[in-house]
Amino acid sequence: MEPTEPIEVSEKSISELLLAMAKTGFQGRKLGEAFEIWLEMLNEERITILMGVSGAMVPAGMRKVISWLIKNRYIDVLVSTGANLFHDIHEAMGFKHYLGSEYADDYHLFKKGIDRIHNVFAYEEEFNRIDYILADIISELDGVMSSRQFIEEIAKRIEVKDKNSIVISAYECGVPVFCPAIADSSIGIAAALADRRAVIDTIRDVEELTDLVAVSEKTGVIYIGGGVPKNFIQQTEVVARLKGYKAGGHEYAIQITTDMPQFGGLSGCTFEEGISWGKISHRGKKVQVNVDATIGLPLLAHGLQKVKRKICPIFIWDEELKIEYKPFNYVSVCQRF
């Protein structure tokens, strides 16, 4: 056994603090271990790192953090709820979310046209404007496409005022964004308002993400919350085996969540449980951190600031997906615009 090492209060970087926390106890240690695992993933030369983001992290202020992770290729694939993508588009087009209170009179807010997301406010009229703008964009689209292709088409067409955007950064840097439950969001509302010729085939999402995981030499996963994004990434290992690929589970896994496994909710399902399904490798390095993601994610991201990704995957979406692992350089990788 190794002794714990109490944290000394001294001048140190956030990365040094996280590494020191890894030698303490409880959830502080878990957050430090998550940092160590993320560092190890980034030092791998032939790995694809997938992130699942649930809930409404963008209204909670996590938008620029996720955009920065994409731009610096600390993640290579994003699976998100539609809510996060809609709120990201909302801010990319120059609108805002506002500091509010969970103790406000909600009927009064309703009469004033203000929507509440816990202690964050937004104007319903602004959301409606985005709904109609997206409906016009969606009306221009035609054909059957995956949510990845659909989100790329939207990113090409929106009028951007703030490029610290998840969908714009992902489009520029060739990071695929999947949204398998896209109908469950304001993007789905916009699609319902559109003169639709385009069809989003979410089963194509299953095929595309499974192929991506199967073709990758090694995979690591990072879950912010759980829900559909988590299970959608997890199930790729099951689908891959059914399709005849050799799939032994994700080799690295981090989850930041406040959900508990005792009540049977998938978001709280442990990685140990995932081993029984073959979703997580029994030899893999894994950690679950029981902390609010709006606390854990910014700390981890700031700890990564001086870490440079050396090699990252480049996805070539032809008839058959190909992955090339190349030295990371922002100018050469993020060159679409």
Residue-wise pLDDT for 278-300, tens only, equals 999 999 999 999 999 999 999 99
* pLDDT value at residue 336: 55
Which residues form the catalytic set? 279
* pLDDT value at residue 337: 40
Residue-wise pLDDT for 127-185, tens only, equals 999 999 999 999 999 999 999 999 999 999 999 999 899 999 999 999 999 999 999 99
Residue-wise pLDDT for 26-59, tens only, equals 999 999 999 999 999 999 999 999 999 998 999 9
Superfamily in which the 15-328 domain is placed by CATH = Deoxyhypusine synthase (3.40.910.10)
Q: Tell me which residue has tokens 């588009």.
A: 89
Mean pLDDT value of segment 108-112: 98
Q: How confident is the model at residue 319 (pLDDT cuts 50, 70, 90)?
A: confident
* pLDDT value at residue 222: 98
Mean of per-residue pLDDT scores for the chain: 95
